[in-house]
Structure 1
Amino acid sequence: MTDHCLRLLRQHRRLAELAAFPFNFDLDRAADGHAEPVRLASGGALETVAGCDTGGTYFVCADGSLLYADSEGSAGIIGSSADEALEIVIGLPGWRDYVHLTPADGEQAILARVAEVEDEIREYHGIDAERAELRAALGLPDRSPVELVGMLHTALLRTEPDFLLLNAAEGCAHDLLDPHPRPPLWESVRHEVPGDPAAEPLSTWITLAVDQGLTELARVALIRRLDEIFMDQSALLRPGSRKELDLSPLRWLAGEFERLGDRQQAERAQHLYTALRK
């Protein structure tokens, strides 16, 4: 865990002001908290350390990873430490415009996109002298945009399962910041089944994941499934019916959450089950 840069920002007002503008990592906004109460599904600690002018919030997690949550219900890890995240935030002004990129896109495409975004920023204010000053003061290396995009991509892929952000009151999950596909649960579970594993019911893989100690992977899959049902209850329609619902998936979800000791999610599933029975 490294937070050297964060400590320097807290100690030196000039550096904090540079981080806030033009790099939109504003320590003063930490006092405002996030737009809504949030927590990690895994139960890990969160420390609010900064915010941005669009209502987003930066959190340091228990292992030092830095999580960003925007004001529209998306969240993701952007660095394995505060120092790494600040490398990305400072080195890639407008970093949110790059979350769809991967190293597989190639150097030419990455550099072209970075040039496009940074030219747009320069139409309104400077970033080059400010970036050089802040990097030097914080002791950050002068990494290429290609390397920084690779670091951002790696960090984003770590968001699930351990850093899934929830609305604390309602229990629903935030979307991912990025569009990159994640492997299905069955790829992480060490078990072979005859035929197509994707055709197996989710319950098969949940049971195996829990039995193998992959609790957070199971929890994420269950929460995502419950959220899907909340958003679209037609997913419960019995085959061939336009009105009759099969509520057994909700009872199963409630039972699985109980098995994980996740009372809030179990109650969510049970409340929806009760409401739809009326």
Structure 2
Amino acid sequence: MTDHCLRLLRQHRRLAELAAFPFNFDLDRAAHGHLEPVRLASGGSLEVVAGCDTGGTYFVCPDGSLLYADSEGSAGIIGSSVDEALEIVIGLPGWRDYLDLAPADGEEAILARVAEIEDEIREYHGIDAERAELRAALGLPDRSPVDLLGRLHAALLRTEPDFLLLNSDEDCAYDLLDPHPRPPLWESVRHEVPGDPAGEPLTTWTRLAADQGLTELARVALIRRMDEIFMDQSQLLRPGSRKELDLSPLRLLAEEFDGLGDLRQAERARGLYTALQ
């Protein structure tokens, strides 16, 4: 898909105002940027194109996907392009209330939740005439809520590994925007299955992933592990000890990041190692 809709919003003030209210896709907020400096773990570029009234920000990624980051430290892909994301934002006002839903929940449950949320929205302002006007002006199809929910769900599941968002100052990762489970790393790499794949060290799978060219998959797993230790250093306590730390996991993480060429994360691991010595 193209970003035809984004160009129309930028060219026509009336359409931009409709997108901003009641659909909370506000182009004017792009000038303020995000509330903190961020970057993609993969190193790809980000372009801020809009914001919302709760402090969230919409970013265009290198492949055209639209990434949404909220003000609470969560982020996720919500469309394969700005156009597709706008279909979802306009077709499912209050879309963040549906992040826990999946197509497997069934049409009845999805439609019931949508009806409930949209009735709540209508208590404060209109959405029906506004949605029809904006869809017509942007040339968007009138897709069913079930279809749109399926598209949103598929987009969210694409967030990792290629679109992991980091706080640029601390290099910590944003949480996923949705609660949907992802397969463990060992299911994503080619391997001879050991007795208990889940019991193997993480580095068994990150090294295999890297060897198979799945660099971002390995990077995400290592960053998530680094974040766990950063947030809870009691994980480094030696068994049976209340004070003695085993810092070898940090040294190993630094080596693994070096192997991936991620010098910033390697330095982060070494910095915490030094601080805890």
For 1:180 and 1:23, the matched residues in 2 are separated by: 25
For 1:76 and 1:192, the matched residues in 2 are separated by: 32
Name the SS for the 1:208 alignment partner. Answer: helix
- Cα offsets for 1:40-65 (capped at 9, x unmatched): 00011100000000000000011000
* Equivalence for 2:115: 115
* Equivalence for 1:67: 67
Matches within 5 A, 1:51-90: 51-90=51-90
Tell me which moved more, 234-243 or 9-18.
234-243
For 1:241 and 1:120, the matched residues in 2 are separated by: 53
For 1:194 and 1:145, the matched residues in 2 are separated by: 43
Name the SS for the 1:50 alignment partner. Answer: strand
**Cα displacement (A) at 1:12:** 0.5
1:208 correspondence with 2:205: no
* Equivalence for 2:244: 244
**Cα displacement (A) at 1:193:** 3.0
Name the SS for the 1:238 alignment partner. Answer: coil
Q: Which amino acid aligns with 2:127?
A: I
User: 5+ unaligned residues in a row in structure 2: which ranges?
Assistant: none
* Equivalence for 2:157: 157
* Equivalence for 2:145: 145
* Equivalence for 2:193: 193
**Cα displacement (A) at 1:234:** 1.0
Q: Which amino acid aligns with 1:252?
A: L
Tell me which moved more, 217-226 or 240-249.
240-249
- Cα offsets for 1:9-55 (capped at 9, x unmatched): 00100000000000000000000000000000001110000000000
- Cα offsets for 1:210-231 (capped at 9, x unmatched): 1111100000000000000011
* Equivalence for 1:93: 93
- Cα offsets for 1:176-220 (capped at 9, x unmatched): 000001111100010023201001110110111111111000000
Tell me which moved more, 235-244 or 260-269.
235-244
Name the SS for the 1:158 alignment partner. Answer: coil
* Equivalence for 2:226: 226
Tell me which moved more, 233-242 or 125-134.
233-242
TM-score (norm 1): 0.99
Q: RMSD between aligned alpha carbons? A: 0.7
Q: Which amino acid aligns with 2:234?
A: S
1:103 correspondence with 2:103: yes
Q: Which amino acid aligns with 1:232?
A: D
For 1:181 and 1:193, the matched residues in 2 are separated by: 22
For 1:272 and 1:101, the matched residues in 2 are separated by: 38
State the number of aligned residues: 277
Name the SS for the 1:265 alignment partner. Answer: helix
Name the SS for the 2:77 alignment partner. Answer: strand
Q: Which amino acid aligns with 1:11?
A: Q
**Cα displacement (A) at 1:169:** 1.1
Q: Which amino acid aligns with 1:33?
A: G
* Equivalence for 1:33: 33
Name the SS for the 1:75 alignment partner. Answer: strand
Name the SS for the 2:76 alignment partner. Answer: strand
* Equivalence for 1:273: 273
